Amino acid sequence: MTPEAKDGEVLVAQGDAAAAARGLASGDSAAPTSILDCEPEVVAAGAPPPGSVTAERGRTAALPPPLPGTALEGTVHLKSGRDGPVRAGHPWVFSGAVREIEGSPFEGAFVRVLGAEGNVLGVGSYSAVGSLTVRMFTRAEVPLDAGFVRERLRDAHALRKSVGMTGPRAGFRLINAEGDGMPGVVVDVYGGFAVVQLLSAGAERLRPEVIDALCNDLGVRGVVERSTGGSRRAEGLRDVTGLAAGEEPPAEIEIDEHGMRLLVDIRGGQKTGFYLDQRGARALVRRLAPGRRVLNAFAYTGAFAVAAGLGGAAEVVSVETSGPSLELARRSWALDARLVSAQTSWVCGDAFEALDAERGRARFDLIVLDPPPFARHRSDLERAMRAYRDLNRRALEALAPGGLLLTCSCSPHVSRESFVRAVAGAARAPLRAQVLAQLGFEPDHPVLPAHAEGEYLKGLLVRPAVG
């Protein structure tokens, strides 16, 4: 969607994205049938070669040995007093923290990171583009090879299985980049087909290992790659899309989410085809829906509409500018016989304009806002905050008395605190906004405690109250 600009505040299109963020046969007699059947690969340690580096104030520290089986292309030394975030578990090393780069690493080179005292802080991929110099893959001294990738996928799959998210018709995120120790790698699984995004030069170097592990360990039916975007181009990589391995997927894949039948277009849909990160929000809408009139703005392929319909909504209106997305939403709705008699309408149009048309009519008891990111860069932040206030003000003014607003932000540069302030500022006197619930990620989208940047998704259930 491309909303009409209101005082220069609405800057992005709905079709861009809703979330960021908006991813072997053993040596025994039988090959494993599941990633969980694979035993971890044991890697022997190598002998350290002689060598030294000049440290701060003329001190000399011994070079750690190269990782066995891995040709390290450089070593990054951090400044004194600037290695704290990485020690605490932050997965990014910024250029301002770097004292010296040893060797001549290229984009995506695997490098060792040393603290100010010369101790190993881990291994990551290097970039000379922008301020993000190293993306940390591990804090341990292990090689970034096929065994490392298999172990990461094994652990990630075990987590998703343990929380009941896997299955033959399931849709779930298998690898969530830094959250799963695989920076730049996103893998989503839909009904046995994997969609892979490799979004950095370091991730690009692991393509064969990632695809091999998906096919031979996890046993997916096919792998589709959708590696596109500015972060790749900035590191000198071209866009890569298409079938990478295995079967060609059908044009539409049906997944099951909490008993909802939903269609996903993994070849032509947004991001990997679907916004798996809103699973919890959809479950909440289903619980809130009975007897309510629901407006589903920025509807995309209609998953919130299906949730509201199955929850017993009196009426569901979905607004979306993309004709193909809206048609897929209609087909998802038609899959379930329980929805045949439900009252629904599909509006191909602008969500901002739809809210303007509803202002003062007090027709809806529940409004869902899941817009694209309004702040893709830090420089967008001020205008994005105005856009969030404007959007939420329109929604609050379209609510019936006692109505509820479920509003979301997937802008990575907008903190939860800032988003709460924007929504609070949208309530005009005599109204005030009550936050009834805060939403975030589900277990298949883990985030590292030290990596606040990974918490891009924010959701608020809001009730306007008088006084």
Residues identified as active-site? 410
Question: DSSP letter at 173?
Answer: E
Taking every pair of Cα atoms in the chain, the longest distance, rounded to a whole number of angstroms, is 79
425: phi then psi, degrees, rounded to nearest 5 = -70, -15
159: phi then psi, degrees, rounded to nearest 5 = -60, -50
CB-based contact 147:130 (threshold 8 Å):
no
166 HSE (CA, 13 A, CB side): 17
Alpha carbons 61 and 302: distance in angstroms, whole number? 59
CB-based contact 385:372 (threshold 8 Å):
no
Whether residue 464 is preceded by a cis peptide bond, meaning omega within 30 degrees of 0, is no
Alpha carbons 176 and 184: distance in angstroms, whole number? 9
DSSP string for residues in 39-59: PPPP-PPPPPPP-EEE-GGG-
CB-based contact 90:80 (threshold 8 Å):
no
Alpha carbons 467 and 465: distance in angstroms, whole number? 7
CB-based contact 388:349 (threshold 8 Å):
no
Contacts of 24 (CB under 8 A, 6+ apart): 31, 32, 38, 146, 150, 212, 213, 216, 217
Instruction: Using alpha carbons, select from 187, 152, 150, 155 the residue that is nearest to residue 172.
Output: 187
In the sheet that holds 193-198, the strands lie side by side as 171-176, 185-190, 193-198, 222-227, 240-246
Question: DSSP letter at 445?
Answer: S
Q: Are strands 364-369 and 399-409 parallel, antiparallel or unpaired?
A: parallel
Alpha carbons 211 and 245: distance in angstroms, whole number? 7
Question: Which alpha helices (DSSP H) does 60-121 contain, by range?
Answer: 84-87
SS3 98: strand
Contacts of 21 (CB under 8 A, 6+ apart): 277, 410, 412, 454, 456, 457
| End-to-end alpha carbon distance in the chain | 36
Instruction: Using alpha carbons, select from 343, 367, 368, 167 the residue that is nearest to residue 259.
Output: 167
